Structure 1
Amino acid sequence: MTSDSPASHTSRHTRTYGRLGIWSAALRPTTPEGRLELTDAVTELEDLGYGTVWTGGSPSLDDAAPLLEATSRIKVATGILSIWEHTAESVAAQIAEFETRHPGRFLLGLGVSHDALAPQYARPYSAMVAYLDALDEAPQPLPAERRILAALGPKMLKLASSRAAGAHPYLVTPEHTAQAREALGPDAFLAPELTVVLDPDLDRARTVARTMLGFYLPLPNYTNNLLRLGFTEADFENNGSDRLLDALFALGDEDRVRAKAEEFYAAGADHLALQALTTDDRHEALPRAEWRALAKALL
């Protein structure tokens, strides 16, 4: 195997970020009790063998800081920091502080969010280019290899290849992963998010998945991407057809989840950021039993 082969690049990224990570919007507690549980939970994730923990939703760098402090090896990434909410200069400066205390352990995930969620949303591609320029030109620049973009469409994927370490697509299929790998080329880091409902009752698993999907289907960035993949408006009705759910999510028992993960790896993913859903709809509930079960099944 030569050093330029796709497999060797996958191995390099896997050595850096691990084969699996955990993505969760619940990794941002708002109470002292929640912060204590967070410390215990991320320490366990590190011990279980996960390579990266992703602060989900629209986090700030302040959300990432306690994850770095609580651990010693696991990488910490934002999934995804909105370019509209934080200036590039302040982001670069805070990451430089992270680097001093936790060298090599932080990855900046950047995204343009959505029109419905960001009042200042306009010309997202140009805005991302300008933001990356500002990171390059900051007093403490952030190197391209320390940032990753929430890229879905062809233009943003190309930008992720040329101006960042790669792409962290959210709510995608193995088919999109294959297209993303082709667009990015063999060298880039490709780390899709994969939502998991670990439940052998498929009807119940789909019900949980539909509750989550209903939040995202009104957002055109996602539905436009799904339309490009061959889904239709009919697939978006009633919070998602079975066909759409089965393509986007890993649903079922450990064997079914493992098979879906392997589809993503075969399509070109270096790393999967797993988001575990449960019937517990509390925003700050940490699905620790599911994280343990997924580690046992997939690591």
Structure 2
Amino acid sequence: MKRWGITIPLTGVPLTAHRELIERLPDLGYTDAWSAETAGTDAFSPLLLASQWAPRLRLGTAIVPVYTRGPGLLAMSAATLAEVAPDRFVLGIGTSSPVIVNQWNAAEFTEPYGRTRDTLRFLRSALAGEKVTERYPTFAVDRFKLERVPPKPPKIMLAALRPGMLKLAAREADGAITNWLAPTDVPKVRAEVGPEVELVARIFVCPTEDADAARALGRMLISSYLTVPVYAAFHEWLGRGELLAPMHKLWAAGDRKGANAAIPDEVVDDLIVHGSLDACRERVRAYTENGLDTPVIALLPTGGDPAAQVEGLAPR
């Protein structure tokens, strides 16, 4: 096991109150801190703080949507992190979802594969300090050049679920980022990217021995995420289509409560890590034993002390 990551910021903890914990992460055994971007903090600000609080951590975005910033702004944001954390910042980009892109950010969610590919190619050029004038298939850029070129371009990883995007990540990016999978799903994903490509996954961890509470929270998350078309297709590909069919039917009919209840325990237990701290840590390790390079724990709220839970989930 080489890498062990945590998602920041922690739910319910003010951003500035993270300093003491983040300073301790490397000594606890964490190698990585990764952010996310939905409707909480933006992806870059927590990493900017962490870059100063814990200079040994690798920092990554998982992920920044390719639609919600213009290509130039995305390059500037990435270059800023690459400047303050040279050789320690990984830019993870991806499509996000139609809700986040269209309904929350008033952008058009079109040609997700092409937009991700074109954004990756633009960023490669821009972050290397080139002046970019290019008509890509999904957008055009005219005479963009960074005024502050990072000392070393950051690595760029792609959010990827199914074979097309996974193969693009293997072919043109520096790694693939995935989520919402079980340890036993990792070999199927790994087969698409090959043995040499770094594979990162966010893993949802609910450290409580109250299985009913953990499953109730897990069901709400699963119905919210796995009804999104790209995740529905992902789990169809992974082989959970039949198990999740009742959830999809009830969700489409507007019965949210019924959809949650229709999710089998085995699906929740596959996708949500729960139990004692020791049991959760070993379950996360099972992902690495099945071929995952970088597990990134996303700590779910249990009412316990999140800092103590992060400490308890550190690798042994």
Place the TM-score, normalised by the shorter chain, in its bin.
0.7 to 0.9
Matched, 1:234 2:257: no
Contact 1:111 1:150 in 2 (8 A): yes
Matched ranges for 1:153-168 at <5 A: 153-168=162-177
Q: How many residue pairs end up in the alignment?
A: 273
Query: What's the CA shift for 1:244?
Result: 0.8
2:31 pairs with 32, 51, 54, which one?
51
Return the alpha-carbon distance in structure 1 between the equivalents of residues 267 and 11 of structure 2: 27
Amino acid at match of 1:46: P
Return the alpha-carbon distance in structure 1 between the equivalents of residues 124 and 218 of structure 2: 39
Structural RMSD (CA): 2.5
Structure 1 stretches of at least 4 aligned residues deviating more than 4 Å after TM superposition: 141-145
Matched, 1:91 2:74: yes
1:121 pairs with 105, 109, 112, which one?
109
Matched ranges for 1:1-299 at <5 A: 14=2, 18=3, 20-24=4-8, 26=10, 34-58=14-38, 59-119=42-102, 120-138=108-126, 140=128, 146-231=155-240, 232=242, 233-234=245-246, 237-238=259-260, 240-280=263-303, 287-295=306-314, 298-299=315-316
Contact 1:157 1:167 in 2 (8 A): yes
Amino acid at match of 1:170: N
Amino acid at match of 1:155: G
Q: Which runs of 5+ in 2 are unaligned?
A: 103-107, 130-149, 249-258
1:62-98 deviation per Cα after TM superposition (whole angstroms, max 9, x unaligned):
3421121222111111111111112333333343333
TM-score if structure 1 supplies the norm length? 0.82
TM-score if structure 2 supplies the norm length? 0.78
Contact 1:144 1:163 in 2 (8 A): no
1:250-281 deviation per Cα after TM superposition (whole angstroms, max 9, x unaligned):
1112343244223312221011001111234x
Return the alpha-carbon distance in structure 2 between the equivalents of residues 195 and 139 of structure 1: 32
Aligned residue in 1 for 2:141: none
Query: What's the CA shift for 1:207?
Result: 1.9
Query: What's the CA shift for 1:286?
Result: 7.9
Amino acid at match of 1:270: D
CA spacing shift, 1:145–1:190, aligned 2, 3 Å: farther
Contact 1:109 1:168 in 2 (8 A): yes
Corresponding residue SS for 1:186: coil
Amino acid at match of 2:168: L
1:90-119 deviation per Cα after TM superposition (whole angstroms, max 9, x unaligned):
333343333333211111111101122211
1:185-208 deviation per Cα after TM superposition (whole angstroms, max 9, x unaligned):
111001111111111222222123
Corresponding residue SS for 2:298: strand
Contact 1:173 1:247 in 2 (8 A): yes
Q: Which runs of 5+ in 1 are unaligned?
A: 1-10
Amino acid at match of 1:39: R
1:106-134 deviation per Cα after TM superposition (whole angstroms, max 9, x unaligned):
11111101122211111100111110111
* Percent identical residues: 26
